[in-house]
Amino acid sequence: MRLLGLLVEGHNYKTAAALLDVSVHTICFHMRSIYGKLHVHSKAEAIAKALRHRIVG
């Protein structure tokens, strides 16, 4: 949820990793999980679906 929220705000993987105090590799790992749960194939699709279904504000 926090990662999706940061991406919706316009952060990229590198800045999201810095804000969450994790590595970019960890962000990529979590994004693969998010893609699977949301049934999407890209960051843009994940953000759009999260907004459309009001998963994040």
Residue extents of the structural domains in the chain: 2-52
What integer pLDDT is reported at residue 56 of this predicted model? 87
Q: What is the pLDDT of residue 15?
A: 97
CA distance 24 to 54: 26
What's the predicted TM-score (pTM) here? Answer: 0.85
The CATH class of 2-52 is mainly alpha
Q: In angstroms, rounded to a whole number, what is the distance separating the alpha carbons of residues 3 and 1?
A: 5
CA-nearest of 27, 31, 33, 32 to 14 is 27
Q: Distance between CA atoms of 42 and 20, rounded to whole angstroms?
A: 21
pLDDT digits (tens, 9 = 90+) for 4-35: 999 999 999 999 999 999 999 999 999 999 99
